[in-house]
Structure formats: structure tokens, C-alpha cells
Homo-oligomer: A and B are copies of this chain.
Amino acid sequence: MNHPYGLAIPDVQSGADERRIAIDRVGIKSIRHPMRIAGKGGGIQHTIGVFNMHVQLPPERKGTHMSRFVEILNGRDREISIASFEAILREMVGRLEAESGGMQISFPYFITKAAPVSGVPSLLDYNVSFVGEIVQGLYRFTMKVLVPVTSLCPCSREISIYGAHNQRSHVTVTVRTPALVWIEDLVRICEENASCELYGILKRADEKYVTEKAYDNAKFVEDIVRDIAVILNTDERIEAYTIEAENFESIHNHSAYALIERDKIKG
């Protein structure tokens, strides 16, 4: 069927809606875009973010303006700067004429580490997410860091004549905070509370060191999450947290898993 059209192209999303149901989140999902972020030492890191952006839609509004979200990503420098995360969020909520909205950015982040004996430097990669929300003008920020580590099993060590099963594990810490918390700080907490941390380059003396260190620091997933909880409980910058540890067990084809969550404000 032909749709007759004149010089004006109708704006279908701008009509009123009759169902009278608000929508909690409407927007775009899984859009990739270059970004840059300042590190704890001061340097600038270039990386690639995957963005989800949404606003709340009141009952009377029929639809949102999807292209405006993409304009916000493309309207600044080619690379989105994380320093302006709150500003971007407020701009988004403003331009989409909403009272509430949120944005999540997930990106790889690299830290230079020195091997523990040889000192040889190499990068290690971590998965980071920043989540911001504006709820009736108030800004809330949550960050999440996934840190790959070594975990070694205390039971296996105790009961075996020699050796102890160990594996790569993922420790994920999610914190809600009004203050500045560096990615590097959360990474340190996770790495220091695993059996041992990971390195890109390990020379033979380093490999001996990490093998023995993991053996000396046997921990169940229960230990890893509790030890991190002890630290986050006393860190006043942190209002709420979730701590997860997942061991990709070397002796099974499934994972061992533990989670602790706490909201210090809500109790």
C-alpha cells in the first residue's frame, strides 16, 4: 500500500499513549564506541566501550527518540571521556526530556604489572563496567571490576601427599560509591586476597614464586569473598557492594561459586 507523503514526514513517536503505563527503561543497547579513561598514575588509556543507555518514559509519552542517544555518543570527541561520565548522563536525561535515566559502559582496562622476582613488566587486562543513574536529579554511580586470579584448594592441599589442584578464577567486585575509587584500588584488593595474582610474563624464577605463593595461600571461594568483605566493610567510601568468586575448577567441568552482598545504607 502506498503511503502518501508530503514535505513533512510525520513524527510517529510524539503522539500520546492510551495504555497509561510507564516504561522503566527505554533506549539503546550494545553499541560500541571508542573511549578514553584516566588511570591512577595519571596516564590516559584508550579502549573500546560497549554502551547501554536508557531513560524512563512516563505513561503519557508514546515513544522515546532513539537517535538522540547515539547523537550523545557521537557529539563529543571521537573518543568518549570517562571523566565526563556524570555530565554525559545528565546531558542524556536532559535531551531525552526524562526525569530518570541510566547508562552502562563495559570496557577492557589494562594495568602494567612487574613480575614478582624478575621485575619484567607486562600488561594484564581486566573487565570493567561503570553504571550511572540519574533518579529525579540525584546521581548514583556503581563500578564493577572482574579480576582474573589463581585460586588453590585448601582441601586438596591438606589431603594430598604432594600437589594441590588450582585454577584460574574470576573475582568480581561491584561497589556503589559517591567518592572516587580507582579501578587499580579494587583490582589490588582482589589480587591480594586470591591465592595468587596473574601476570602476562613470568620468567622461571617468577613461575617458581607464584607456584609456591599459591600453595602457601590456599583459599576456598568462601575465603576469597569473606576476606574481601572484611576490607570493604571498613572502607567508608563504599556504600554498597557485591563480591563474587568463581573458580573454573581444574578437577571438574563446572565452577565453584560464592557471593556476598551488602548495602550499608539500607541495611
Docked-complex contact A28 and B156, CB < 8 angstroms: no
Within 8 A of B (CB), among A2-36: 2-3, 5, 9-13, 17, 19, 21-34
- Asked if A38 CB lies within 8 Å of chain B CBs, one says no
Choose among B9, B31, B229 the residue that contacts A254 (Cβ–Cβ < 8 A). Answer: B31
In the assembly, what is the distance between CA of A194 and CA of B117, in Å?
A: 30
Minimum CB–CB distance from A145 to chain B (whole Å) comes to: 14
Q: Please judge, given known A-B contacts A47-B48, A163-B164, A164-B163, whether A150 and B251 are in contact too, CB under 8 Å.
A: yes
Q: Is the CB of A33 within 8 A of B123?
A: yes
A214 at interface (Cβ–Cβ under 8 A)?
A: yes
Once bound together, how far apart are the Cα atoms of A5 and B259, in whole Å? 33
Any B CB within 8 A of the CB of A91? no
Given A30-B254, A256-B66, answer yes or no on A161-B5 (Cβ-Cβ < 8 Å).
Answer: yes
Residue among A254, A257, A259 with the highest chain B CB neighbour number at 10 A: A254
Interface of A is mostly: mixed
Please give, as numbers and ranges, the residues of chain B lying within 8 Å of A250 by CB-CB distance.
Answer: 150, 166-168, 214, 250
Chain B residues with CB under 8 A of A168: 167-168, 248-250, 253
**Shortest Cβ distance from A43 into chain B, in angstroms?**
9
Interface core residue of A164, A165, A214 (most chain B CB under 10 Å) = A165
Question: Is B155 in contact with A13, judged by CB distance below 8 angstroms?
Answer: yes
Contact status A207-B155, CB under 8 Å: yes
Name the CB-closest residue of B to A212. B160
Interface residues as binary, A195-207 with B (CB distance below 8 Å gives 1, 0 otherwise): 0101111111101
Q: Which residues of B contact A57 (CB under 8 A)?
A: 222, 258
Output the nearest chain B residue to A258 by Cβ-Cβ distance. Answer: B26
Q: Are A159 and B5 in contact (CB under 8 A)?
A: yes
Closest 9 CB pairs of A and B: A163-B215, A46-B46, A31-B254, A160-B211, A29-B257, A29-B255, A25-B259, A26-B258, A12-B155
| 16 A-B contacts (beta carbon < 8 Å) | A1-B162, A9-B205, A17-B222, A23-B222, A34-B46, A47-B48, A48-B108, A63-B220, A64-B222, A74-B123, A156-B207, A167-B168, A167-B250, A199-B251, A202-B252, A248-B248
